[in-house]
């Protein structure tokens, strides 16, 4: 019995060590999909979904690309990491509430808020077309970032070309309308960088 537990523990440790450097299983990108850039969310642990100052070059590139290429859309893929985004510190318990300042975001929503906040910055400060930006999340990737992809212009809420989960920003503004009882995420305030 002790030997079995030791072997299982060793296998778990080996799996964890080999899994740490890997971001996720990378699937081939669909035709017409290109990774544009990514922004990190690793400087402000108190506000884990706030768009940080060093994101500006990527955001400017994304806005310029969107404005200069009328037949594409952007897909923002928000990702989170349970260790660095403090799920471990909470012993697996989610916070019970959120506030608009970004100081109390439930871990389950960190990735979605990263994508929604990135879209809000692009539209508010860089005048990107909100109808051409689709915020999503990827629960299989472990990181603290938003990855920005260009996708064909016919992408929508249900078909975003990246096989990621769409984020519900506003009730019934996306056709077809998402489930009305689903959580809706409102971007958190952020001044211009």
Name the residue among 191, 34, 68 with its Cα closest to residue 124: 191
Return the DSSP state at 180: T
Residues whose CB is less than 8 angstroms from the CB of residue 89 and which lie 6 or more positions away in sequence, other chains included: none
User: According to the model, what pLDDT value does residue 133 have?
Assistant: 96
Q: Which residues contact 165 (CB under 8 A, 6 or more apart)?
A: 136, 137, 138, 139
Exposed e or buried b per residue across 124-144, where buried means at least 16 C-beta atoms within 10 angstroms of its C-beta: ebbebeeebbbbbbbeebbbb
- Count how many residues are written for the chain: 193
Q: What's the whole-model pTM score?
A: 0.76
pLDDT tens digits, 39-49:
999 998 888 89
Q: Please give the pLDDT value at position 24.
A: 44
User: 176 preceded by cis ω (within 30°)?
Assistant: yes
Model pLDDT, residue 12: 40
The pLDDT, as a whole number, for residue 23 is: 45
Around Cβ 1, how many Cβ atoms within 10 Å?
Answer: 5
Q: What is the pLDDT of residue 25?
A: 42
Low-confidence ranges of the chain (pLDDT < 50): 1-25, 91-96
How many CA atoms are closer than 13 Å to the CA of 122, on its beta-carbon side? 32
Q: Nearest Cα to 117, choosing from 39, 181, 171?
A: 39
To the question of domain 24-166 being in CATH 3.30.1330.60, the answer is: yes
Which residue carries 């260790």 as its tokens? 83
Write down the pLDDT at residue 27. 59
Express as a percent the part of the chain with pLDDT over 70: 68
**Could you state, in order of their start, the residue ranges of all structural domains in the chain?**
24-166
């Amino acid at each position: 019995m002790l030997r079995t537990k030791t072997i299982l523990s060793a296998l778990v440790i080996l799996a964890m060590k080999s899994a740490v450097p890997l971001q996720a299983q990378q699937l081939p990108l669909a035709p017409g999909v290109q990774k544009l850039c990514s922004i990190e969310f690793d400087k402000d642990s108190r506000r884990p979904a706030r768009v940080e100052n060093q994101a500006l070059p990527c955001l400017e590139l994304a806005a310029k690309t969107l404005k200069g290429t009328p037949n594409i859309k952007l897909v923002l893929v928000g990702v989170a990491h349970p260790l660095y985004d403090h799920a471990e510190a909470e012993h697996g318990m989610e916070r019970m509430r959120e506030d608009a300042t970004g100081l109390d975001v439930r871990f389950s929503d960190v990735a979605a808020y990263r994508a929604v906040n990135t879209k809000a910055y692009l539209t508010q400060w860089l005048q990107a077309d909100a109808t051409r930006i689709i915020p999503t999340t990827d629960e299989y990737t472990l990181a603290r970032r938003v990855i920005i992809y260009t996708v064909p212009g016919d992408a929508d809420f249900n078909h975003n070309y990246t096989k990621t989960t769409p984020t519900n920003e506003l009730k019934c503004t996306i056709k077809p309308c998402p489930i009305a009882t689903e959580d809706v995420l409102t971007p958190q305030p952020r001044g211009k960088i």
